[in-house]
Amino acid sequence: GNPTQQYPNNPNGSPNAITGLTTADGRVTIMMPHPERVFRTVANSWAPEGWGENGAWMRMFQNARKNIG
């Protein structure tokens, strides 16, 4: 698809509908979405059967904890 400035496809109004950027070397990613709001499956509007209690974003937090210590 094409970027949009229109709600609901661009709910926060970011330029060119950008929600995240990653540095060229892949070491840093910044994001506009709030993964801390949907790290549990019950907070998602849909999740496949078998996900259990943790949603898809929980892995990001687990990896951060593992790598930071």
Q: Could you read off the pLDDT of 25-66 as tens digits, one per residue? A: 999 988 877 888 889 999 888 888 999 999 888 998 999 999
Q: Both 39 and 66 in a single domain?
A: yes
CB 49 within 8 A of CB 41: no
- Give the alpha-carbon dihedral of 46, 50, 54, 58, to 10 degrees: -90
CB 31 within 8 A of CB 19: yes
Identify the H or E element spanning 22.
strand 20-22
If DSSP codes are grouped into helix, strand and coil, which group holds residue 40? strand
Q: Both 25 and 5 in a single domain?
A: yes
Look-up: residue for tokens 């970027």? 3
C-beta neighbour count of 55 within 10 angstroms: 18
Q: Both 68 and 55 in a single domain?
A: yes
- pLDDT of 67: 92
Residue 63 belongs to domain spanning: 34-69
Q: Both 39 and 18 in a single domain?
A: no
